[in-house]
Amino acid sequence: MAFELEVFRHLFASVAEEMGVTVQRSAHSPNIKERRDHSCAVFDHQGQMVAQAAHVPVHLGAMPMAVQAAIDFYAEGTPTPGDLIIVNDPYLGGTHLPDITTVSPVFVGEPLEMWGWVATRAHHADVGGLTPGSMPMSTELFHEGIVIPPLKLVDAGKVDEQLIELICRNVRTPDERRGDLAAQLASHQVGETRLQAFARRYGPGELTRMARDLMAYTEQLVVARLRRVPNGTYAFEDFLDDDGRGGPSTPLRVAITVRDGRLIVDFAGTAASVPGSLNAPSAITHSAALYVVRCLAGADVPANDGARAVLDVRVPLGTVLNPQPPHAVAAGNVETSQRVVDLLWGALAQALPDEVPAASQGTMNNLVIGGTDPRSGGAYTYYETIAGGSGAGPRRPGTSGVHVAMTNTLNTPVEALELAYPMRARRYALRPGSGGAGAHRGGNGVVREVEMLAPASVTIVAERRRIGPWGLHGGGAGRRGRDRIRRRGGRWRDVPGKGTHRLEAGDLVQVSTPGGGGWGASDAG
């Protein structure tokens, strides 16, 4: 039985992986093609995740709620072969507006019967809003771009070109959006075709049975792995640098109660929703908790909703981790999600002092640049999350220059950046000494410096600029991040970790990312 489950585990996962390859190879934007800022997954008839690819954790953990939104769309109707639902509403299972999700039903067998769903989520480099890249210093959701509720983009195989035109009319780079949406649609065809082939080979009933058994097996395995966590309640507090608008630090609190391999994760005491965009919809908060559970369970555990079954996540409504519309949320997905992971590890470090690492960089260091490309006369938008240092652990030092926790993307290669945009990379290097001191040092951050070759709007959205990543068991904190701008012919000037700036040709922006925290007291200490 275990052998059979392992075979089907990889069969289901291969569908999501092949869908992801299709998105990446077909996409137009460097953000998806080069950085792979997209995710794909397979779901059963009820909307439970059966398998996912090794893509972006913050996407995948939240995606089941978007699939549920698609299911709810059909509350008074019935899916038909060739349908596809599009949605990006953060309050309906989305993360933030640039992450556009597509969901389609999968029909198998003769005669055709609905078996499940496949879904993709891709970060589109611009979906409108106040500034290029749709990551502005917003105070309400409507500042951040076009909001798409669950709508039928494809009806029985016929694409709604008017809906695509409506979306593209509200963004700065319509041709790129059309190309990236087409890549997502192509991946659905691949996913549906592969699942149909498996159904012909094994039978739809067997496919359903194996999906159900695989999730049950995963739940049992995760519970068994988590039994090593001592029963008890473990509390921790951490802080966001500010309220998203340069105000005071925002406290996040959690109490994790462990009961025989199952967890109650209660965020009572967390700050109320903030005026800036650091609010994280509950789908993101659940996603961060699921990520930590999967880390504890181990990489060999199948990635499906069986792991979610061990969690009881409680997030008070109206807090920064469960806001109500129309609160701004653009940075909640990329920044607050990282801090929730730090928060959970801080609590679990009390239960597993010889396993849990120090805090990693705790930010995605979002850099968004947009304007008019003088080579073509058209608009462009560049978006990137920048790597930093991971926290050191009890067995090894942290890793330098790596994406951590809720992001699993790559960098944009310098060659691709300079080819696609009117910019020049002036410096891209590790940041020596930025990892926290300790018996095991934290990993170092990086320095990314870019010169504008044409006037541009530059937005930075980053955390850990006021409060460095904490160390554990006597280890030192990682160095805080730092952001600077230099006008042509002038000197470097520090700028806040969140803000939009107008730069001219010859001006430079430099992002220095945080290092990870150190673990254990050093001999010198």
Query: Which pLDDT does position 409 carry in this prediction?
Result: 84
pLDDT tens for each residue of 4-57: 888 999 999 999 999 999 999 999 999 899 988 899 999 999 999 999 887 666
Q: Which conformational region is residue 318 in: left (phi greater than 0), alpha (psi within -120 to 50 degrees), or beta?
A: left
Which pLDDT does position 346 carry in this prediction? 98
Residue pLDDT, tens place only, 478-502:
999 999 999 998 999 999 999 999 9
| Alpha-carbon dihedral sign for residues 238, 243, 246, 248 | negative
Q: 387-413, pLDDT tens digit by residue?
A: 999 999 999 999 999 999 988 888 999
**442, 435 Cβ separation under 8 angstroms:** yes
The Cα 328–Cα 498 span in angstroms is 14
Average pLDDT in the chain = 95
CA-nearest of 366, 339, 389 to 37 is 366
Q: Is the pLDDT of residue 524 over 70?
A: no
Q: How confident is the model at residue 58 (pLDDT cuts 50, 70, 90)?
A: low
pLDDT (tens digit per residue) in 208-257: 999 999 999 999 999 999 999 999 999 999 999 999 999 999 999 999 99
Q: What is the pLDDT of residue 498?
A: 98
Report the predicted TM-score, pTM, of the whole model to 2 decimal places. Answer: 0.94
Which tokens is 422 given?
Answer: 């009117």
pLDDT digits (tens, 9 = 90+) for 130-188: 999 999 999 999 999 999 999 999 999 999 999 999 999 999 999 999 999 999 999 99
CA separation for the pair 350, 298 (Å, rounded): 19
pLDDT for res 297: 94
pLDDT of residue 60 exceeding 80: no
pLDDT of residue 61: 74
Residues in the chain, total: 525
Q: What is the pLDDT of residue 299?
A: 87
> DSSP 3-state assignment of 99?
strand
Residue 525: the pLDDT is 44
Say whether pLDDT at 356 is over 80: yes
Give residue 176's pLDDT.
96
